[in-house]
């Protein structure tokens, strides 16, 4: 991907803490789970590996932690190749999906484990354990067993344990997957704050795109063993580089068509229904190539005033779904009957009624012409 290359700092930059170079991984010798991965992780950043299951994101994390060996390529941590470094010598903190707290030890003993492994003095251990527990607001829970804690509290202990020995790099493998929605959102903010206050580098794996958008400095979207796009949350949402990213992050209306004209970054696309749409040329194959158009539901106007939109079509309202703060309007437009428009509460002066026809418009800059997907 071109975007990956753009984000890569110049060679030898001290800015990077981890570098993957041409890394490949196969488990069975037939299918590559990770295909030619090149990735620089910047010091102090919160990087999320986002993707559907089987996309290679967890394998990437496990290779970095040392639990899997790359079939090809190299991983460099702090300028040192990790090829012959066993997991226990990498000094990387890790938070596991199921917490992996040791049930036969108390919370304090769990936190002491990495410190004892480093032969730290007893009083220094106690100071660090105390500080780590206070950081996750569990100061009074040192004597409890993990089994006596709630899921959210266990998650905090796991977090404290991964941070207590002051690692430069912390890996988190879907750490919030087992929590309920409300707690998950609360923990997202908490982890984000801890990351900001400690300045530690975090590599976070999730399949939840809203979690990724909330927490990350940068997001690497994985699919089919490759990074599809590596960018900040804003850029990823507003400027997806290909159909997969546009589809995976946020909601998305799609049209399939053929490029008819191209002038710089503008292009005209003929849909299969015959309609002609003006779009922003992002990732197309030139005139005559197939493309898929992507428009966010909130970038669409109902009954737009003349001149505000360069794409205006007539649509039939198929369904209205009241969502409280907004209404989702599903319309049939240009041969696509699954086209969704988000109308904020009180924003529309048009009376919406199922079965009626309205005019719908969007600007060509909001309509991105991507690969055929």
Partner 1 sequence: MTATADSPESAFLAGNNTLKSRLRRAERMRKVWALALIAPMFVFLMVSFVIPIASLLKLSVEDLEVSEALPLTVEAFKAWDGEGFPPPEAMQVFAQELVVAEENKTLGSATRRLNYSLSGFKSMLKKTGRKAEDDLAGVPADQILDAFIAIDKDWGDPAYWRAIKDAVGPLSDFYALWALDRQRDADGDIVMRPSTQSIYVDVLLRTLEISVAVTLICFVLGLPIAYLLATLPTSRSNLLLILVLLPFWTSLLVRTTAWIVLLQNEGLINDTGIWLGLWNEPLELIRNRFGVYVAMVHILLPFMILPIFSVMKGINPWHMRAAESLGAHRWKAFLKVYLPQCLPGIGAGTLLVFILSLGYYITPALVGGPQDQMISFWIVENMSSTLNWGLAAALSMILLLLTLVFFFIYNRFVGFDKLRLG
Q: Which parts of this chain interact with partner 1 (CB under 8 A)?
A: 65-67, 86-94, 96-98, 100-104, 113-114, 117-118, 161-162, 165, 171
DSSP per position, 124-192 = HHHHHHHHHHHHTT-GGGTTS-GGGS-HHHHHHHHHHHHHTT--SEEEEESTTTTS-HHHHHHHHHHHH
Burial (Cβ within 10 Å: 0-12, 13-18, ≥19) of residue 182 = exposed
Q: CB-wise, 79 or 87, nearer to partner 1?
A: 87
How open is the CA angle 263-268-274, to the nearest 5 degrees?
160
Taking the least distance from each CB to partner 1, the nearer of 165 and 301 is 165
| Residue with smaller CB distance to partner 1, 1 or 100 | 100
Shortest distance (Å) from residue 67 CB to partner 1:
6
Minimum CB separation from partner 1 for residue 88, in Å?
5
Nearer to partner 1, 68 or 371 (CB): 68
Q: Which residue's structure tokens are 């003349």? A: 306
Say how far apart CA 181 and CA 186 lie, in whole Å. Answer: 9
**C-beta of 205: minimal distance to partner 1 in Å?**
14
Nearest CB to partner 1, comparing residues 89 and 122: 89
Shortest Å, Cβ 20 to partner 1: 19
Using CA atoms, how far residue 351 sits from 107, 297, 318, 347, 358, in Å, is: 59, 19, 14, 11, 10
User: Rounded distance, CA 125 to CA 119, Å?
Assistant: 9
Residue 203 Cβ vs partner 1, minimum distance, rounded to whole Å: 13
């Amino acid at each position: 991907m071109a975007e990956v290359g753009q984000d890569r700092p110049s060679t030898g930059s001290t800015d990077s803490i981890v570098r993957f170079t041409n890394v490949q991984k196969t488990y069975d010798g037939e299918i590559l789970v990770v295909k030619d991965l090149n990735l620089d992780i910047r010091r102090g950043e919160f990087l999320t590996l986002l993707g559907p299951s089987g996309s290679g994101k967890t394998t990437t994390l496990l290779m970095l932690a040392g639990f899997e060996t790359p079939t090809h390529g190299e991983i460099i941590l702090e300028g040192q190749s990790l090829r012959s470094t066993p997991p226990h010598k990498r000094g990387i903190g890790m938070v596991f999906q199921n917490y992996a707290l040791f049930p036969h030890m108390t919370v304090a003993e769990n936190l002491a484990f990495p410190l004892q492994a480093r032969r730290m003095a007893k009083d220094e251990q106690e100071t660090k354990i105390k500080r780590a527990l206070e950081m996750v607001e569990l100061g009074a829970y040192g004597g409890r067993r993990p089994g006596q804690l709630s899921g959210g509290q266990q998650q905090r202990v796991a977090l404290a344990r991964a941070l207590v020995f002051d690692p430069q790099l912390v890996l988190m493998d879907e750490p919030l997957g087992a929590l309920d929605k409300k707690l998950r959102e609360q923990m997202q903010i908490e982890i984000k704050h801890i990351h900001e206050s400690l300045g530690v580098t975090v590599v976070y794996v999730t399949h939840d795109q809203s979690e990724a958008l909330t927490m990350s400095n940068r997001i690497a979207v994985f699919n089919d063993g490759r990074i599809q796009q590596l960018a900040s949350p804003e850029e990823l949402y507003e400027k997806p580089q290909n159909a997969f990213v546009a589809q995976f992050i946020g909601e998305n209306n799609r049209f399939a068509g053929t490029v008819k004209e191209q002038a710089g970054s503008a292009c005209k696309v003929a849909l299969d229904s015959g309609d002609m749409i003006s779009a922003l040329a992002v990732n197309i194959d030139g005139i005559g190539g197939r493309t898929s158009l992507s428009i966010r539901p909130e970038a669409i106007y109902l009954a737009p005033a003349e001149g505000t939109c360069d794409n205006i079509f007539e649509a039939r309202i198929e369904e209205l779904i009241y969502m409280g703060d907004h209404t989702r309007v599903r319309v049939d437009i240009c041969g696509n009957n699954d086209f969704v428009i988000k109308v904020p509460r009180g924003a529309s002066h048009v009376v919406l009624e199922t079965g009626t026809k309205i005019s719908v418009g969007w600007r060509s800059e909001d309509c991105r012409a991507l690969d055929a997907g």
